[in-house]
Structure 1
Amino acid sequence: MNQLAAKAETRNAQPWWRGAAIYQIYPRSFFDSNGDGIGDLPGITARLDHIAGLGVDAVWLSPFFKSPMADFGYDVADYRDVDPIFGTLADFDALIARAHALGLRVLIDQVWAHTSDQHAWFIESRASRANPKADWYVWHDAKPEGSPPTNWQSVFGGPAWTWDARRGQYYMHNFLKEQPQLNCHHPEVQAELLAITRFWLDRGVDGFRIDAINFSMHDPEFRDNPPAPDDGTPRTRPFDFQLHIYNQSHADIPGFLERLRGVFDEYPDRFTVAEVGGADADREMKLFTAGGNRLNTAYGFDFLYASRLTAAGVRAALQNWPAGGSWPSWAFENHDAPRAVSRWTRPKTADAFARMKMLLLAALRGNIFLYYGEELGLDQVEIPFEALQDPEAIANWPRTLSRDGARTPMPWSSTAPELGFTSGRPWLPVGPNHEALAVNVQDADPASLLAWTRRVLALRGASPALRTGDIAFHDAPGELLAFERAAEGERLLCLFNLGDVAQHWTPANASHWRPLLATGGAGDWTFAPHSGLIARYEA
């Protein structure tokens, strides 16, 4: 019996994904096996033991599909093939086999709101107004004076329309002009996406993270978006000036998700998570996961762009997903957001904060996502303009913080060139502070953040209360966050001081609470800044 089957036997009361800890890999930056400076699938396979050793349930791979890399894989040119810089389909199959042998499930990104402009579908679609794929993308005539069909703006800056002389029409793109918008209203497009789903599920993939799903369908009447009210939020791009009512979030999206779920239900133990951002994300996340016949969960953005981590903010986010409703997922970091330790604390308190943050993440009700290097405490790297790769940052420099700073190479060895990531020149520079945080350094230190992460995830994995239990909050002073988790007769008290001032708080029946894990000097119901405690109730 392999490790995956063994895990399934021990957790058969709930689906494997409910309460799972999932590790996100940005393939370009994880490990380079061939010296070209870019991480690849064989490199991931070679380092899966590190991930399995953390105690997570699954890995999520950001895109590795064939792509011209205008947006580093989020512009797909072939949904059924691996880009040569990452390897081959045989390399992917080997990765799946090794992951499953280690007890790890594998999730992959699916980017269905748009393709690359080099995808064969778009090349055919733009060739004429009368071909089999003419309506597979969103095309529209110019206004009488030649301007774009609507006032819609792209996320990355500028109009969401580009003129194409071949057809004498504009095509829509919510992101880069190299990412034309798929017409997901079209039944043939939907059928093809479902066929792609079967292709990857048949290869053994355990689930999908579906990128920007609320951008997948537009308003067929092509109405202008209304202006957004000025609420004081900084506006760094034209996209920020509109309410995005008509360029995205069409009411037909849930119907397609039900069709997708029908395919997933043909395969046992598979999983879907939606990425849903924007001002209306909360409503849409619940809509896309409602009724048990759509997606399993949605990926919350509550913490990814928050400039502070506050007790009130955590409490509000968690209470927004009550028991009996949709199942949430949480992340503090990902490939699109600055590293959390750089957003939420200062360098001198980064280690203490990272430990408290990891314990808090493991205590949240829902699925949790760790971003590669988060277990090491990696900080945001400042990338000079001449080294930038991120198209959004380049287009909006210096107003937009580069996503490259959270995509720098994984530091494997403090003594190897380029910190062991590659034998060549890395596609992004390694972090100047990352030598001391490298895996080999922390692996040898039982007091390291890496060792702490393993302990924390082991506790979550063994605890019914933390994996799937209910949550109830206590009122506590200042920035002290206090809540209980409970399931299957297990009752845990979780306390975290998110502020810079020590706090004291004593629970009822204090003598019955036995500490399980503590960090930052938490003890005797006194909590230093950036400390945390999980305790079990014993009658």
Structure 2
Amino acid sequence: MGHEVDVKEEWWRGATIYQIYPRSFADSNGDGVGDLPGITAKLDHVASLGVDGIWLSPFFTSPMADYGYDVSDYCDVDPVFGTLDDFRALLDRAHALGLKVIIDQVYAHTSDAHPWFAESRMSRDNPYADWFVWADAKPDGSPPSNWQSVFYGPAWTWDARRKQYYMHNFLPEQPQLNLHNEAVQQALLDVAKFWLDMGVDGFRLDALNFGFHNASLADNPPRANPDPTRPHDFQQLINNMSQPELVPFVERLRALTDLYDARFTVAEIGGADATGEMQLVTAGNARLNTAYNFDFLDGPQITPAYVAKVMARWPEGTWPSLAFSNHDAVRIVSRCAQGREPAAYAKLMLLLLLCLRGNPFVYYGEELGLHHAEVPFERLLDPEAIRNWPETKCRDGARTPMVWHGAEPQAGFGTAEPWLPFDPRHLAQSVAAQEADGNSVLQFARRAIALRRESAALRTGDFTLINADENLLVFTRRFGDETLLCLFNLGHETGQFLLPAGCEEITALGSALPGSGAWPVLSAYVGRI
């Protein structure tokens, strides 16, 4: 269908990436925690979806204060996940199946158990003394600035060894690296080289714009009309993150990845001006390939007007990545269905994600239409959720185990009780159950991913908005002589739109009465014009 995409040059542009949260995908050794051999054993399922690659959330050595985003050894595998040889086996199997492998890199902070920090905190004059962000107390003993951490409380913790405060944008167990220090940058580039040499196909760069702070330690100003859950919601986050020094570092990283063939970089960028920062770190050909933020992860409802607004931020010459669910967000069906039939809504959202311009990231279980799991308070493990309960999105609900066989013990995840409990609603949505149902979300996901893979217009083409009213979103995707019209009823009432004459249906959800132009709730249409 359509034009062939030059995948050798830019395999990643428009590629569909499947995110795996390693703790929750498959447990191979019966300890209740998913692991790398478990993932390897299930890669046939991932390949059957037709995606281009996988993104693995952190599997590095870690005390797990933030479940792997607190790294104590960047170049080894935590024993709970396996060994470096297990990772090499995963990489080989993925490549044999035609899947690229993207891994997380966490450059803004380490674990407080990292040897770099252990040395840094011992004195003010050791070789690692300036590898983290240290500052003296104010005369009254209070922290050096008013900065607040993302999860809760001040972004500063007192350390009696150095008689100074150290900075952390997240947990106290995640001390901030001082990326202003060239030696720190080089150490991180050496980490990247380690994994590139092993054969990974690219990196997802966690919380990248938290990597640099304002060295003056100036206070953050207050935010007008805050709607706070946590103290940092009161502030404009302009000094503890999002500094101009990030761009030269990004260019150093790109120069490294360009030494290897066809490597891919995608940054996670949050904050008040996320779009501007994403475009800054991806501009031209000497920075990152793409970036994504939380527009569709914790923004407002996904309405036609909102989709149009977000896509308008990405004109020709820019390239976004897009996700509707991930490990930090409430799953899309629970967040946005608003009483509409869940399975039908899951299909609608999958097709929309795969028709938009950019790189779609599909979160494990999204191909099954999983709800956000209900995790009882006594089973919560996410420190943010526990501290801010119940005013929280509860990230644990997005991280519960994958359901492979609803009728098997532990739903086929493993032989032991898993680290987080299953949501009973998920058991009927298992892979095995949906394999046997031609009308399932899983079977539709495969068809929708294939549609994108086979269409240059969907994969890399232009995006032109046609209509965005209360119910209907209509746009075209065009590449060369292939033009597709994409229509989605994202509202709660029937919408009205007459298809152009001669439009040839490729796929549809629901349908309009012939000639009526009346599109019911949860309907969608993709056709060639």
TM class by smaller structure: over 0.9
Inter-partner Cα distance in structure 2 for 1:260 and 1:130:
29
What's 1:513 paired with?
Answer: 503
Inter-partner Cα distance in structure 2 for 1:82 and 1:526:
54
- Alignment of 1:297 onto 2:290: yes
> Which of 365, 383, 386 is 1:373 aligned to?
365
- Alignment of 1:340 onto 2:332: yes
Question: 2:424 aligns to what SS in structure 1?
Answer: coil
| Gap runs ≥5 in structure 2 | none
Question: 1:457 aligns to what SS in structure 2?
Answer: helix
Q: Is this contact kept in 1: 2:201–2:262, CA < 8 A?
A: yes
- Alignment of 1:26 onto 2:6: no
Question: 2:341 aligns to what SS in structure 1?
Answer: helix
Q: Is this contact kept in 2: 1:162–1:170, CA < 8 A?
A: yes
TM-aligned CA deviation for residue 401 of structure 1:
2.4
> Which of 170, 178, 182 is 1:183 aligned to?
178
Question: 1:134 aligns to what SS in structure 2?
Answer: coil
What's 2:154 paired with?
Answer: 159
What's 2:313 paired with?
Answer: 320
Question: 2:322 aligns to what SS in structure 1?
Answer: strand
Question: 1:136 aligns to what SS in structure 2?
Answer: coil
Q: Is this contact kept in 2: 1:522–1:532, CA < 8 A?
A: no
Matches within 5 A, 1:12-91: 12=7, 14-91=9-86
TM-aligned CA deviation for residue 315 of structure 1:
0.7
- Alignment of 1:460 onto 2:460: no
Deviations 1:9-60 (A, max 9, x none): 9744750000000000000000000110000000000000000000100100
Inter-partner Cα distance in structure 2 for 1:293 and 1:259:
9
TM-aligned CA deviation for residue 351 of structure 1:
1.2
Q: Is this contact kept in 1: 2:211–2:246, CA < 8 A?
A: yes
Matches within 5 A, 1:92-491: 92-230=87-225, 234-324=227-317, 326-346=318-338, 349-475=341-467, 477-491=469-483
What amino acid sits opposite 1:278 in the alignment?
A: G
TM-aligned CA deviation for residue 116 of structure 1:
0.2
Deviations 1:61-112 (A, max 9, x none): 0000000000000000000000000000000000000000000000000001
Indicate how the Cα distance of structure 1 residues 360 and 164 shifts in structure 2: closer, same or farther if over 3 A, else same: same
Inter-partner Cα distance in structure 1 for 2:393 and 2:10:
38
TM-aligned CA deviation for residue 398 of structure 1:
1.7
What's 1:3 paired with?
Answer: none
TM-aligned CA deviation for residue 422 of structure 1:
1.6
TM-aligned CA deviation for residue 304 of structure 1:
0.2
Indicate how the Cα distance of structure 1 residues 229 and 476 shifts in structure 2: closer, same or farther if over 3 A, else same: closer
Inter-partner Cα distance in structure 2 for 1:12 and 1:414:
38
Q: Is this contact kept in 1: 2:5–2:456, CA < 8 A?
A: no
TM-aligned CA deviation for residue 478 of structure 1:
2.9
Q: Is this contact kept in 2: 1:482–1:493, CA < 8 A?
A: yes
Question: 1:375 aligns to what SS in structure 2?
Answer: helix
Inter-partner Cα distance in structure 1 for 2:255 and 2:209:
19
Inter-partner Cα distance in structure 2 for 1:532 and 1:456:
12
What amino acid sits opposite 1:316 in the alignment?
A: K
Inter-partner Cα distance in structure 2 for 1:330 and 1:401:
20
Greater shift after overlay, 518-527 or 198-207? 518-527
Greater shift after overlay, 75-84 or 394-403? 394-403
TM-aligned CA deviation for residue 306 of structure 1:
2.6
TM-aligned CA deviation for residue 384 of structure 1:
1.2
Question: 2:476 aligns to what SS in structure 1?
Answer: strand
Inter-partner Cα distance in structure 2 for 1:315 and 1:487:
20
Inter-partner Cα distance in structure 2 for 1:443 and 1:404:
27
Q: Is this contact kept in 2: 1:495–1:532, CA < 8 A?
A: yes
Inter-partner Cα distance in structure 1 for 2:304 and 2:76:
45
Q: Is this contact kept in 1: 2:210–2:242, CA < 8 A?
A: yes
TM-aligned CA deviation for residue 476 of structure 1:
5.2
Identical-pair percentage? 59
TM-aligned CA deviation for residue 475 of structure 1:
2.6
What amino acid sits opposite 1:90 in the alignment?
A: D
Inter-partner Cα distance in structure 2 for 1:14 and 1:536:
27
TM-aligned CA deviation for residue 385 of structure 1:
1.0
Q: Is this contact kept in 1: 2:308–2:468, CA < 8 A?
A: no
Question: 1:274 aligns to what SS in structure 2?
Answer: strand
Q: Is this contact kept in 2: 1:477–1:505, CA < 8 A?
A: no
TM-aligned CA deviation for residue 445 of structure 1:
1.2
TM-aligned CA deviation for residue 161 of structure 1:
0.4
What amino acid sits opposite 1:219 in the alignment?
A: N
| Gap runs ≥5 in structure 1 | 1-8
Per the normalisation by structure 2, the TM-score is 0.97
What amino acid sits opposite 1:290 in the alignment?
A: A
Question: 2:87 aligns to what SS in structure 1?
Answer: helix
What's 2:484 paired with?
Answer: 492
Q: Is this contact kept in 1: 2:94–2:101, CA < 8 A?
A: yes
Inter-partner Cα distance in structure 1 for 2:419 and 2:405:
18
Inter-partner Cα distance in structure 2 for 1:264 and 1:23:
21
Question: 1:106 aligns to what SS in structure 2?
Answer: strand
Greater shift after overlay, 253-262 or 303-312? 303-312
Inter-partner Cα distance in structure 2 for 1:457 and 1:353:
16
What's 1:529 paired with?
Answer: 521
Indicate how the Cα distance of structure 1 residues 520 and 89 shifts in structure 2: closer, same or farther if over 3 A, else same: same
Deviations 1:154-184 (A, max 9, x none): 0011110000001110000000000000001
Q: Is this contact kept in 1: 2:145–2:217, CA < 8 A?
A: yes
TM-aligned CA deviation for residue 477 of structure 1:
4.4
What amino acid sits opposite 1:80 in the alignment?
A: C
Q: Is this contact kept in 2: 1:125–1:131, CA < 8 A?
A: yes
Question: 1:475 aligns to what SS in structure 2?
Answer: strand
Question: 2:40 aligns to what SS in structure 1?
Answer: helix
Inter-partner Cα distance in structure 2 for 1:478 and 1:152:
40
Q: Is this contact kept in 1: 2:15–2:359, CA < 8 A?
A: yes
Greater shift after overlay, 473-482 or 262-271? 473-482
What amino acid sits opposite 1:497 in the alignment?
A: N
Per the normalisation by structure 1, the TM-score is 0.96
What's 1:4 paired with?
Answer: none
Q: Is this contact kept in 1: 2:25–2:34, CA < 8 A?
A: yes
TM-aligned CA deviation for residue 254 of structure 1:
0.3
TM-aligned CA deviation for residue 348 of structure 1:
5.4
Inter-partner Cα distance in structure 2 for 1:290 and 1:223:
28
Greater shift after overlay, 47-56 or 395-404? 395-404
